[in-house]
Amino acid sequence: MRPIEIITQLLDLAAALVAAPLFVGWINQCRAWLQNRSAPSIWLPYRGIRKLFHKDAVIATRASALFRLAPYIVFGAMVLAAGIIPSMGTRLPVTRIADAIALVGLLATARVFMSLAAMDVGTAFGTLGARREMMVGFLAEPALLMVIFVASLISASTALPAITEHLATQTLGLYPSLAFTAVAFTMVLLAENARIPIDNPATHLELTMIHEALLLEYSARHLALMEWAAALKLFNYACIGFALFIPWGVSTVQGGPLALLASIPVLAAKLIAAGGVLALIETVSAKVRVFRAPEFLATAFLFAVLGLLVHLLLGA
């Protein structure tokens, strides 16, 4: 392991941990502007997390050890996921232990633990949230894997850095298959991160909530970890999107420390743009009923399949 690899890895992890809440804050700001509200501070998610860490944890009397363990596992899974996704450089030593399929498995692990923890206390909302979360999960996972399959068929590898490396060093060609899968991926991103057409991060309305219903019993440090993990998840998804569809600007195998340094502002620019787009999507679309979620995700799956067929037919 060369020093540059370790530096890339640590930078990757640190960027994720630091930038994830900021990214959420930025999206909230953009949303507020687009909706003619005065925007909250971009630092608000940080303050929320800090405040929660200081509070006393209140745990339901019936909760088992699983309930207290789950936030740590979910957070750990998201941090490891951040370490696997090449957001700035492709020389990540950790990626050898988990390729893109294992990354999807890692996200599934987090989801399962979150759902189990929600069922642990045995309230109506917990089980309801778990059921809906697992429903969205099993619909979104195939679509996500199809997206990854297309990218790995193009680059003959399932390792994310190799995919990014391949796509980033390619002469700027047009991949029609990737255009289809990009649409599919965006839809999966919205659904998996509890964003608007599927879930609304801003409300606790009983009939519709998914993600918030899972967290209803959590408080203090456990809630802080869950919130942070949710922010990391959004950040991770965004970075998967960058790695697959706009990989330019990351420091590749040839790049030295300077290229790595240069990739930091590139990532920031990508995040700023992505946050704006996400806020725009959320502002112009309405939340669908829970029963319509399968249709939404089936559409995403269809787009991914179309991308795959286009790839197989055109070879691009």
Partner 1 sequence: MTSALHSPLNACLAILVLWGAIGLAGLLRPTSLRFVARSLFPLSALASLMLAAVAAWSLGVAPERAILAIGLPDLPMHLRRDALSGVFLFLLGAASAGISVFAAGYFRRGHGTSAGLLCLQYHLFLASMGLVMLADDAYAFMVSWETMALSSYFLVTTQHGLPDIRRAGFLYLLIAHVGAIAILLAFGVMQGGSWQFTFDAMRGARLPAPWAAAAFLLALFGFGAKAGLVPLHVWLPEAHPAAPSPVSALMSGVMLKTAVYGALRVTFDLLGQPVWWWGVVALAVGLFTALYGVVFAAAQSDMKRLLAYSSIENIGLIFTAFGLAIVFRGVGMSMLAALALIALLYHSLNHAFMKSLLFLGTGAVLHSTGERSLGRLGGLIHRMPWVAWLTLVGALALAGLPPLNGFVSEWLLLQAFLFAHEVPHTFVNMLLPMAAAVVVLAAALAAYVMVKFFGVIFLGQPREPGLAGAHDAGVLQRLGLAWLAAGCVALGLFPTQIINGLRGVVKQLSGADLPGQTAPWWLLEPIPGRQASYSALGFLLAVTAIVLLTIVGVRLFYHRRVRRADPWDCGFARLDARMQDTAEGFGQPIRHIFGQFFLLRRELPTPFDRAPRYRVLVGDRIWERLYGPLGGLVQRIADRFAWVQQGRIATYLLYSFVTLVALLALVL
Residue numbers 228-287 binding partner 1 by CB under 8 A: none
Residue numbers 187-206 binding partner 1 by CB under 8 A: 206
By the 8 A CB rule, do 244 and 163 touch?
yes
Instruction: Kindly tell me which of 42 and 94 has the beta carbon lying closer to partner 1.
Output: 94
Specify the stretch interacting with partner 1 by CB under 8 A; choose among 40-48, 59-67, 179-187, 260-268: 59-67
Query: Least distance to partner 1 from the beta carbon of 123, Å?
Result: 5
Binding residue for partner 1, selected from 1, 3, 156, 286, defined by CB under 8 A = 156
152 interacts with partner 1 by CB under 8 A: yes
Binding residue for partner 1, selected from 40, 46, 49, 221, defined by CB under 8 A = 221
Residue at 150: amino acid letter: V
Query: Least distance to partner 1 from the beta carbon of 85, Å?
Result: 14
Residue at 212: amino acid letter: E
Cα–Cα distance, 42 to 175 (Å, whole number): 36
Residue numbers 16-45 binding partner 1 by CB under 8 A: none
Binding residue for partner 1, selected from 5, 7, 33, 123, defined by CB under 8 A = 123
300 interacts with partner 1 by CB under 8 A: no
By the 8 A CB rule, do 28 and 40 touch?
yes
256 secondary structure, DSSP code: -
141 interacts with partner 1 by CB under 8 A: yes
φ, ψ dihedrals at 6, nearest 5°: -65, -40
Binding residue for partner 1, selected from 72, 262, 281, 299, defined by CB under 8 A = 72
| Backbone Cα Rg of the chain | 19
Cα–Cα distance, 13 to 226 (Å, whole number): 17
Specify the stretch interacting with partner 1 by CB under 8 A; choose among 120-128, 175-183, 269-277, 279-287: 120-128
Cα–Cα distance, 206 to 286 (Å, whole number): 17
Cα–Cα distance, 76 to 214 (Å, whole number): 18
Distance of CA 202 to the CA centre of its chain: 18
Instruction: Kindly tell me which of 18 and 309 has the beta carbon lying closer to partner 1.
Output: 309
Cα–Cα distance, 254 to 49 (Å, whole number): 39
Which residue is listed with tokens 């998840």? 233
Specify the stretch interacting with partner 1 by CB under 8 A; choose among 38-46, 77-85, 261-269, 275-283: 77-85
Cα–Cα distance, 68 to 91 (Å, whole number): 35
291 interacts with partner 1 by CB under 8 A: yes
Cα–Cα distance, 314 to 176 (Å, whole number): 9
Cα–Cα distance, 249 to 268 (Å, whole number): 11
Instruction: Kindly tell me which of 31 and 311 has the beta carbon lying closer to partner 1.
Output: 311
Length, in residues, of the chain: 316
Nearest in space to 141 (alpha carbons), one of 247, 299, 297: 297
176 interacts with partner 1 by CB under 8 A: no
Instruction: Kindly tell me which of 105 and 276 has the beta carbon lying closer to partner 1.
Output: 105
Specify the stretch interacting with partner 1 by CB under 8 A; choose among 23-31, 40-48, 108-116, 274-282: 108-116
Query: Least distance to partner 1 from the beta carbon of 249, Å?
Result: 22
Query: Least distance to partner 1 from the beta carbon of 51, Å?
Result: 11
